[in-house]
Amino acid sequence: MGTRIVLSIIILSIFGCNKDNANNETEIHGTYKGIFERDDIVSNVELTFYGGTWLGESERSKYPALCNGTYSISRNVVSFENACAWTAEFDWTLILSDEWNYDIKGNLLVLTKSNGDKYELSRQ
């Protein structure tokens, strides 16, 4: 009987911890404060995620360009849609949109984009 318990624990340990499910939408919900960084230029930001919608602010105007919109998560990727109208006088690659890789460790949320942009945010 002791062998069955040990085998059950081993099987649960192997199959019960699926890393693909480690980052899921319920973990990203909440308000986060931190920084956005591009090419060593940093700005303080705040992002709130709830029920597939997001809202954001930056201390610097349009760096990054945050407003509001929707998001969806698949594995370790967050896909952002920005719902705001923007004027043409700035770099539109600063608008929070498209796909970002994400990682959560404790209260730290890190979003990274293929161009090197990075958000480092702490849950409030």
pTM of the model: 0.78
Within-domain flag for 16 = no
Q: Which residue has the tokens 């539109």?
A: 92
CB 109 within 8 A of CB 102: yes
**CATH number of the domain encompassing residue 109:** 2.40.128.50
Overall average pLDDT of the 13-18 stretch: 43
Residue 47: domain span: 22-123
The tens digit of pLDDT for each residue in 41-62 reads 999 999 999 999 999 999 999 9
Sign of the four-CA dihedral 54, 78, 27, 62: negative
Within-domain flag for 11 = no
CB 62 within 8 A of CB 43: no
- Tally of domains within the chain: 1
Within-domain flag for 102 = yes
Overall average pLDDT of the 18-27 stretch: 46
The tens digit of pLDDT for each residue in 64-96 reads 999 999 999 998 999 999 999 999 999 999 999
